[in-house]
Amino acid sequence: MYRRLKNFSDDVNQEDVYKHFIGMDLRDFFDVLTTTDLHPTLRLVAYLRAFGILDKADPSRWAFNLHTSQQNYKTLLETQYYQCRSVRFQNMDPLQPQEDGPFQKRHRLIQLEKQIQLDINRLFSNEEFFSNLDNRANIHLLTTLWSHINNDIYKQGIHEIVALCYQLAVNGVQANFLQHRQDSELFHLTHFTRASVMHLAFDLSTSIMSFVYPLYSDDQKMSQRMNQIQNQLLLKLDQPLNERINQLNLESVYLIRWLRLLFCREVRVEHVPRMWDFIVFSFEKTGSVDYLDYMVVSFYQQKRDELMRGDYNMVMKMFSGSLLGDIGIEGIQNVCLGALRLMGVGKQEETKTQIILKNTQKTKNSTINYWLSQQIKQGLKLNQSGNTEEGNQMITEVAELLEVLVPENETAFLDVLRSSGYESGIGKGRALEIVTQCLSKHKGWSE
């Protein structure tokens, strides 16, 4: 499955792979973010699900979720933006100093727009996507709306988070592969159109900002956090590096940019989505921004040699630019995985498949087959005794395991089926029927 997700763009049965992807066990589903550089539409779906914009447990509600999201965005835009911006004649004095009067609100909104525009004018100017005037106008509107409904707050950097969310939405929608619009399992993908970009981007930005905003709003805490990373976390994880940084007497100012922008300026823009996969994964997993601290340490470790050898000026020069702008996507993945390892996520929470793989490394194929056959037997029993869902889930898991464990999995699967006592007669026919039904959802297995 992972292999097919990795090569999704070239897959001839994209819709089937997608169905299996969204049907995966939740933990495995989000683990994919760390193992695979996903197709833009799949990435968008994974992000929306991670933040609960799409129902985490029930994909059948996604079309409804997306419809609701669109309606909410339309309402917000109308009531909070357009109505506020175009104040009609009212029988009142526009100069009356009422904080919440319509003219004052309009004035604040226009000031906010001007302030944001100053930053939008300078947004990733070397990138074609962000230089496009329509895209800039959309990003400006999204940033303004978000700031306006949050008490007109705006801090430099928020516009970059919004911009990258907008790009994720545009890419996800543009790469939509839907062909069978009538297929109920895929129906939600009909909402991934140009018309949906704004509300998808807005919801995504809002979700990410709900995690990140404390880094913008509370300077004292931000200062403390920067100190803790340099003086406590780094000391705990890499004492020599911590000592070297103290010896260089490095200011931690650059960490403001790293943390607030979720490291988006520290790598090439085209690599940001891959890096954010890990960040979104960590938000979903932990419900906090703690992973960012480990990312800082991992970034330091990536430049360990330069830090240990370089002088203050050389190091500060390195930090003032794009720190990992010179490394490719593999390197970025390694830095992110390194941060996960430092955080202990990889050690403690392996997926079921990973655990089984590890446990069966030195096991004979016949033993594995026997174990799998028992699993499938149990799955079929459950199915026949009325626990259809549980039974089918078990059979699908066996199929997934086989895919990972044995290259020629289709043949192996039939072997397993035979050894589980369904080798002939009506039993076999019924078993095959059930198994086929289960596997019709599983990409890579023909019916």
Partner 1 sequence: MESSRNIKVALVGDTQVGKTSISTRFIYNRFDFTPVSTTGGQYKKKIIFVNQNQVQINIWDTAGQERFRALSELYYRSASAIILVYDVTRMETFLNLKYWIGELRAKGDKNAVIVMVGNKIDAAERVVSKAQAAQLAAEEKVFYKEASALSGESVCEIFNLIVEQVQIMQNPTEEVVSVKIQEQKDKKWFACC
Number of residues that bind partner 1 (CB under 8 A): 33
Residues from 76 through 135 that contact partner 1 (CB under 8 A): 115, 118-119, 121-126
SS (HEC) of 252-314: CCHHHHHHHCCCCCCCCHHHHHHHHHHHHHHHHHHCCCHHHHHHHHHHHHHCHHHHHHCCHHH
Residue 320 or 384 with smaller CB distance to partner 1: 320
Query: Could you tell me which stretch among 11-19, 206-214, 216-224, 422-430 binds partner 1 (CB under 8 A)?
Result: 216-224
Cβ count near 361 (within 10 Å): 6
Minimum distance from residue 243 beta carbon to partner 1 (Å): 21
Of positions 51, 254, 413, 445, contacts partner 1 by CB under 8 A: 254
Of positions 51, 211, 258, 278, contacts partner 1 by CB under 8 A: 258
Q: Does 222 bind partner 1 (CB under 8 A)?
A: yes
Give whole-number Cα distances, 206 to 154, 256, 264, in Å.
13, 20, 17
Of positions 93, 243, 251, 423, contacts partner 1 by CB under 8 A: 251
Rounded to a whole number of angstroms, the distance between the first and last alpha carbons of the chain is 17
Of positions 26, 195, 253, 432, contacts partner 1 by CB under 8 A: 253
Minimum distance from residue 383 beta carbon to partner 1 (Å): 56
Q: Does 299 bind partner 1 (CB under 8 A)?
A: no
Give whole-number Cα distances, 230 to 239, 242, 400, 417, in Å.
10, 7, 43, 56
Question: 276-298 b/e with 16+ CB inside 10 Å = b?
Answer: bbbbbbbbbbeeebebbbbbbbb
C-alpha 278/C-alpha 182 separation (Å) is 34
Minimum distance from residue 372 beta carbon to partner 1 (Å): 53
C-alpha 82/C-alpha 412 separation (Å) is 62
Minimum distance from residue 247 beta carbon to partner 1 (Å): 17
Query: Could you tell me which stretch among 139-147, 257-265, 299-307, 363-371 binds partner 1 (CB under 8 A)?
Result: 257-265
Question: Which H helix or E strand runs over 412?
Answer: helix 409-419
C-alpha 340/C-alpha 137 separation (Å) is 36
> H helices within 36-157, ranges in order?
40-50, 62-76, 83-85, 102-120, 128-131, 133-149
Residue 255 or 434 with smaller CB distance to partner 1: 255
C-alpha 215/C-alpha 72 separation (Å) is 27
Cβ count near 132 (within 10 Å): 12
Of positions 319, 413, 422, 445, contacts partner 1 by CB under 8 A: 319
Quick note: the x/- pattern for partner 1 over 155-194, rule CB under 8 A, is: xxx--x----------------------------------
Minimum distance from residue 219 beta carbon to partner 1 (Å): 4
Of positions 219, 243, 306, 349, contacts partner 1 by CB under 8 A: 219
Beta carbons of 98 and 86 less than 8 angstroms apart: no
Minimum distance from residue 245 beta carbon to partner 1 (Å): 15
Residue 156 or 190 with smaller CB distance to partner 1: 156
C-alpha 178/C-alpha 294 separation (Å) is 38
Minimum distance from residue 125 beta carbon to partner 1 (Å): 3
Instruction: Summarize as ranges the residues that interact with partner 1 (CB under 8 A).
Output: 115, 118-119, 121-126, 155-157, 160, 219-220, 222-223, 251-258, 260-261, 265, 313, 316-317, 319-320
